[in-house]
Amino acid sequence: MTLSRRDFLGAGAAAAATAVVSGKAAAGLVEVVDRSLSAGASRATRPVVVASSNGLRGVARAYEMLTRDNADTLDAAIAGVNIQELDPEDQSVGLGGLPNADGVVQLDASCMHGPTKRAGAVAALEDIATPSLVAKAVMDYTDHVMLVGAGAKKFALQMGFQEQNLLTEESRQDWLRWRACLSSGDNWLDHTDPVVIKFHTGTINMIALNAAGDVSTVTTTSGLSWKIPGRVGDSPIIGAGQYCDNLVGGAGTTGRGEAVIKACASFLTVEHMRQGMAPEQACLKTLERIVAMTETRLLDERDRPRFDVDFYAVSKDGRFGSASIYSGSRFAVADATGARRVESAYLFPRAERPRTPRPACVPQAG
- pLDDT for 295-334, tens place per residue? 999 999 999 999 999 999 999 999 999 999 999 999 999 9
Q: What is the mean pLDDT of residues 163-187?
A: 81
Q: What is the mean pLDDT of residues 246-274?
A: 97
203 labelled catalytic: yes
Please, which pLDDT band fits residue 21 given cuts at 50, 70 and 90? very low
Please, which pLDDT band fits residue 54 given cuts at 50, 70 and 90? very high
Q: What confidence score (pLDDT) does residue 129 get?
A: 97
- The residue with greater pLDDT, 177 or 286, is 286
Question: Would the pLDDT of 364 be above 90?
Answer: no
- pTM, two decimals, is 0.85
Mean pLDDT, the chain, rounded, equals 86
Q: What is the mean pLDDT of residues 24-51?
A: 60
Angstrom distance (rounded) from CA 362 to CA 8: 50
Question: Would the pLDDT of 164 be above 70?
Answer: yes
Angstrom distance (rounded) from CA 220 to CA 354: 27
Q: What is the mean pLDDT of residues 206-232?
A: 95
Q: What confidence score (pLDDT) does residue 186 get?
A: 58
Q: What is the mean pLDDT of residues 136-153?
A: 98
Angstrom distance (rounded) from CA 330 to CA 220: 18
Closest by CA to 269, choosing from 305, 303, 232, 309, is: 309
Helix or strand or coil: residue 118? Answer: strand
**Residue 94 near residue 86, CB atoms below 8 Å:** yes
SS (H, E, C) 181-200: CCCCCCCCCCCCCCCCCCCC
DSSP string, 61-116: HHHHHHHHS---HHHHHHHHHHHHHT-TT-TTSSTT----TTS---EEEEEEETTT
Q: Which CATH fold would you assign to the domain 37-352?
A: Glutamine Phosphoribosylpyrophosphate, subunit 1, domain 1 (3.60.20)
Q: What confidence score (pLDDT) does residue 67 get?
A: 98
Q: What confidence score (pLDDT) does residue 62 get?
A: 98
Q: What is the mean pLDDT of residues 114-139?
A: 98
Q: What is the mean pLDDT of residues 63-78?
A: 98
Closest by CA to 195, choosing from 213, 210, 175, 209, is: 175
Q: What is the mean pLDDT of residues 32-61?
A: 77
Q: Beta-strand (E) ranges in the chain?
A: 33-34, 48-52, 107-113, 118-125, 146-148, 204-209, 215-221, 242-245, 249-255, 309-315, 320-326, 330-335, 338-343, 345-348
The active-site residue out of 73, 130, 201, 203 is 203
Mean pLDDT is lowest, of 80-84, 169-173, 174-178, 338-342, for: 174-178
- H or E stretch at 297: none
Q: What confidence score (pLDDT) does residue 271 get?
A: 98
- The residue with greater pLDDT, 20 or 276, is 276
Please, which pLDDT band fits residue 100 given cuts at 50, 70 and 90? very high
Q: What confidence score (pLDDT) does residue 189 get?
A: 55
In the chain, where the domains are located: 37-352
Q: What confidence score (pLDDT) does residue 137 get?
A: 98
- H or E stretch at 269: helix 265-274
pLDDT more than 90, % of the chain: 70
Q: What is the mean pLDDT of residues 189-215?
A: 74
The DSSP code for 364 is P
Q: What confidence score (pLDDT) does residue 23 get?
A: 38
Distance (Å) of CA 227 to CA 100, 129, 201, 262, 305: 5, 19, 10, 18, 20
Please, which pLDDT band fits residue 264 given cuts at 50, 70 and 90? very high
Q: What is the mean pLDDT of residues 121-126?
A: 98
Question: Would the pLDDT of 24 be above 50?
Answer: no
Q: What confidence score (pLDDT) does residue 214 get?
A: 98
